[in-house]
């Protein structure tokens, strides 16, 4: 990798981290912003690619943030080339939004004794995407209004089935929500103590993200959670992002008021991000793996039909 390429990659990390730090310094959790947008409340979804597939990880935060800042209500994004291939054209003067692509490549190296070994090297690239609101001439379905949200009762029933399918042990009682690694269970206050069902789901999604960390699940190291404030802040950031990603997937508007214990992490998050420009990327990647694991525990359509 040339010094120019390395510098460019570092710049991407720094630029994005600086944007998130600026919001946190104002007391704003940027990953919660989309739900504060008047034209999106109740129907927030993940940003979608031109083919309908959702973006994941860090790109969810980037595109949510940009859509809010620029007033885009449509969730669909595509590259300049993809717009042309679909018969559209980006309007003159429109500026795109940075999207990142993270992957790895394998490089064969020679050790001190002359032996060859493969080393995986991570890399990060940036490319530009445009919201469909910036593009003319696309097929009509790209401009269609968002579908109405699922009936509230039906939506909560769907959420109940989702968490039941994870096979997580969820206990109710007391006034605290937490995941116990020692007992491998999630503790939740009674549903009736929450402001509404959506708030309950948001908190349960947060704790379910912690639950995925166990060695026999996604194997995220929590050994220093109770001993190291920085490690605790990192894990809480993963759980916050995981809750937002999962709520979007489930069609639930999460709690807009920060829990007191999470509000206390603001200073710790700022310290972590100031010290490590990759921290928010790593947290988003961990959150994505956690949410993917929870989705993978759901029965397939074929399984559901067989059970019926």
Three-state secondary-structure class, residue 21: helix
Contacts 24+ apart (CB under 8 A), 225-234: 225/181, 229/268, 230/268, 230/271, 230/272, 232/265, 232/268, 233/265, 233/268, 233/269, 233/271, 233/272, 234/272, 234/279, 234/282, 234/283
- Report the percentage of the chain scoring pLDDT > 70: 81
DSSP-derived 3-state class of residue 77: strand
pLDDT at position 5, please? 45
Is 97 within 8 Å of 66 (Cβ atoms)? yes
What average pLDDT does this structure show over 215-233?
92
Residue-averaged pLDDT of the chain? 84
**Cα atoms in the Cβ-side hemisphere of radius 13 Å centred on 36:** 11
Residue corresponding to tokens 């109770």? 226
Q: What pLDDT, on the 0 to 100 scale, is given for residue 259?
A: 62
- Examine the pLDDT at 305 and tell me if it is beyond 50: no
Query: Which helix (H) or strand (E) element contains residue 97?
Result: strand 97-110
Of the candidate ranges 42-56, 108-122, 167-181, the one whose mean pLDDT is the lowest: 108-122
Checking if the pLDDT of 244 tops 80, the result is yes
Tell me the mean pLDDT in the region 18-34. 81
pLDDT exceeds cutoff 60 at 38 = no
Rounded to an integer, the average pLDDT of 173-200 is 92
State residue 262's pLDDT score. Answer: 60
Q: Please tell me the predicted confidence (pLDDT) of residue 267.
A: 85
Give, in degrees to the nearest 5, the angle at Cα 276 between 275 and 281: 150
φ, ψ of residue 237 to 5 degrees: the values are -65, -40
Q: What does the block give as tokens for 165? A: 């399918």
Q: What's the pLDDT at 43?
A: 61
Q: Is residue 55 pLDDT above 50, yes or no?
A: yes
pLDDT in tens, 102-141: 766 677 777 777 777 676 666 678 899 999 999 999 999 9
Looking at 22-31, 91-100, 143-152, which range is the least confident one?
143-152
| Cα 145 from Cα 20, distance rounded (Å) | 30
User: Nearest 5 degrees, angle CA 183-CA 175-CA 252?
Assistant: 90
Q: Which of 67, 120, 135, 139 is nearest to 97 (CA)?
A: 67
pLDDT of residue 4: 46
Residue pair 208/239 in contact (Cβ under 8 Å)? The answer is no
Apex 263 CA angle, 258 and 264, nearest 5: 160
Give pLDDT, residue 1: 43
Question: Token digits for 44?
Answer: 């927030």
The pLDDT of residue 50 is 94
Instruction: Please check the confidence at residue 148 and state whether its pLDDT lies above 70.
Output: no
| pLDDT confidence of residue 213 | 97
Is the pLDDT at 232 greater than 60, yes or no?
yes
Asked if residue 218 has pLDDT above 80, the reply is yes
């Amino acid at each position: 990798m040339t010094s120019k390429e390395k510098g460019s990659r570092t710049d991407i990390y720094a630029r994005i981290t600086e944007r998130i730090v600026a919001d946190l310094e104002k007391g704003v959790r940027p990953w919660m912003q989309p739900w504060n947008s008047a034209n999106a409340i109740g129907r927030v979804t993940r940003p979608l690619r031109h083919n309908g597939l959702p973006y994941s990880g860090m790109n969810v935060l980037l595109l949510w943030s940009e859509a809010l800042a620029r007033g885009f209500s449509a969730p669909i994004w595509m590259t300049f080339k993809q717009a042309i291939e679909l018969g559209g054209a980006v309007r003159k003067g429109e500026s795109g939004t940075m999207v990142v692509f993270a992957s790895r490549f394998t490089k064969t190296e020679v050790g001190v004794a002359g032996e060859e070994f493969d080393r995986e090297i991570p890399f990060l690239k940036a490319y530009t995407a445009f919201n469909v609101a910036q593009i003319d001439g696309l097929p009509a379905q790209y401009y269609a209004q968002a579908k109405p949200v699922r009936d509230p009762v039906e939506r909560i029933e769907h959420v109940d089935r989702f968490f039941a399918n994870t096979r997580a042990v969820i206990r109710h009682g007391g006034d605290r929500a937490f995941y116990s690694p020692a007992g491998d269970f999630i503790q939740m206050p009674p549903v009736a103590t929450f402001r509404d069902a959506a708030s309950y789901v948001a908190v349960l999604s947060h704790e379910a993200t912690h639950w995925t960390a166990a060695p026999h699940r996604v194997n995220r190291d929590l050994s220093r959670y109770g001993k190291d404030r920085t490690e605790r802040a990192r894990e809480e950031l993963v759980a916050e992002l995981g809750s937002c990603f999962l709520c979007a997937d489930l069609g639930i508007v999460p709690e807009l008021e920060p829990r007191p214990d999470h509000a206390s992490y603001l200073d710790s998050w700022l310290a972590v991000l100031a010290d490590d420009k990759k921290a928010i990327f790593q947290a988003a990647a961990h959150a994505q793996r956690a949410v993917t694991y929870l989705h993978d525990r759901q029965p397939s359509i074929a399984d559901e039909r067989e059970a019926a």
